[in-house]
Amino acid sequence: MTLGSVALALALVGCGARGGEPSAPSSPAPGGGSGAGGDLGATVYQRCAGCHGPQGTGGSFPTASLVNIERLTDDQIRGIIENGKGRSMPAWKGRLSEEEIAAVIEYIKKF
């Protein structure tokens, strides 16, 4: 038994533990979102979290990550929310008010 083989064994164990699952405990959202869309945005986002994940990282749909959403303009984001995108992103026009959409846009831009 050499030190080298111990190190190798440890390395293998380390690899087995890979996968980087964010062990997110179901903690309440960090204290009072300041600025536009604080509470309303959070409330509206509950309808999105099932697919987009509580932190906007994608949840059950890897393609639904919102962490990079700042690359889009507000108008582009609004268009996606109103009209949907791809096969799984529903259109929300008529189901959310202008105000709710504006609030949720501000909310998802903070991810």
Contact call for residues 82 and 101 (beta carbons, < 8 A): yes
63 interacts with ligand HEC by CB under 6 A: yes
**Position among 37, 41, 53, 81 found at the interface with ligand HEC (CB under 6 A):** 81
Q: Which two tokens stand for residue 105?
A: 């846009």
Region for 77 from its dihedrals, namely left if φ exceeds 0, alpha if ψ lies in -120 to 50, beta otherwise: alpha
Q: 54: burial class by Cβ within 10 Å (0-12, 13-18, 19+)?
A: middle
Q: Given the complex with ligand HEC, which of 40 and 81 has the nearer CB atom? A: 81
Q: Given the complex with ligand HEC, which of 34 and 68 has the nearer CB atom? A: 68
Q: How far is the CB of 28 from ligand HEC (least distance, A)?
A: 20
**Position among 37, 53, 92, 103 found at the interface with ligand HEC (CB under 6 A):** 92
Q: Given the complex with ligand HEC, which of 35 and 86 has the nearer CB atom? A: 86
